[in-house]
């Protein structure tokens, strides 16, 4: 617990996030890197844009000043790669919703499980926090 008067230094605050296993916290650095990737995804909120995207994905991406890596990651639906390149799941959700995928199915694609395996894990109480809290601490 941090007392209310103790203000945390931004560098220390951000550094702590790297210790969480299998997690990309959506920091300002990631938000900057992924700006156009996320704005592209956002554009899929209208039916007209969804149609244009479905008709020719690669052509649709030409309208957005994204990096080649970001374009390839989206075309491959490699969501972990998208996260590394600054994508945020609530924005990427516009892409997988357009694909007709549920949140659970899209999310499962970022784990080492198949969707049925992932669904079974969730129905049995989800992934345990045990051993998943800290890389350095191993707890």
Partner 1 sequence: MARITAGVASSHVPLLGVAVDQGKTGDEYFGPIFAGYEWTKAWEKEEKPDVVILVYNDHASAFDMKIIPTFAIGCGERYKSADEGWGPRPVPDVEGHADLGWHIAQSLILDEFDMTIINEMDVDHGMTVPLSMMFGQPEKWPVKVVPLAVNVVTYPVPSGNRCWALGEAIARAVESFPEDLNVQIWGTGGMSHQLQGPRAGLLNREWDNKFLDMLIGDSDAARFIPHLEYLRETGSEGIEMVMWLVMRGALGKKTKCLHRHYHIPCSNTAIGHLVLEPTE
Applying CB under 8 A, which residues contact partner 1? 1-4, 8, 10, 13-14, 16-17, 20-28, 31, 35, 38-39, 41-42, 44-47, 50, 79-80, 83, 88-91, 93-94, 97-98, 102-104, 107-108, 110-112, 118, 121-123, 125-129, 132-134
What is the distance between the alpha carbons of residues 116 and 93, in angstroms, rounded to a whole number? 20
Beta carbon nearer to partner 1, 75 or 135: 135
90: helix, coil or strand? helix
Beta carbon nearer to partner 1, 52 or 121: 121
What is the distance between the alpha carbons of residues 80 and 57, in angstroms, rounded to a whole number? 19
Beta carbon nearer to partner 1, 55 or 128: 128
Beta carbon nearer to partner 1, 72 or 89: 89
CA 48 to chain CA mean position, Å: 25
Radius of gyration of the chain (CA): 18
Q: How far is the CB of 77 from partner 1 (least distance, A)?
A: 14
């Amino acid at each position: 617990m941090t007392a209310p008067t103790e203000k945390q230094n931004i560098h220390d605050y951000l550094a702590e996030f790297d210790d969480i296993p299998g997690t990309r916290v959506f920091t300002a650095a990631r938000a900057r890197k992924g700006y156009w990737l996320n704005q592209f995804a956002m554009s899929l909120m209208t039916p007209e844009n969804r149609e244009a995207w479905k008709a020719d994905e690669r052509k649709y991406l030409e309208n957005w000043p994204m990096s080649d890596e970001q374009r390839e990651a989206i075309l491959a639906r490699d969501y972990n790669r998208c996260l590394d390149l600054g994508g945020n799941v609530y924005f990427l959700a516009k892409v997988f919703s357009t694909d007709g995928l549920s949140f659970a199915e899209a999310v499962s694609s970022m784990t080492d499980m198949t969707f049925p395996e992932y669904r079974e894990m969730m129905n049995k109480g989800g992934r345990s926090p045990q051993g998943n809290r800290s890389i350095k601490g191993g707890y």
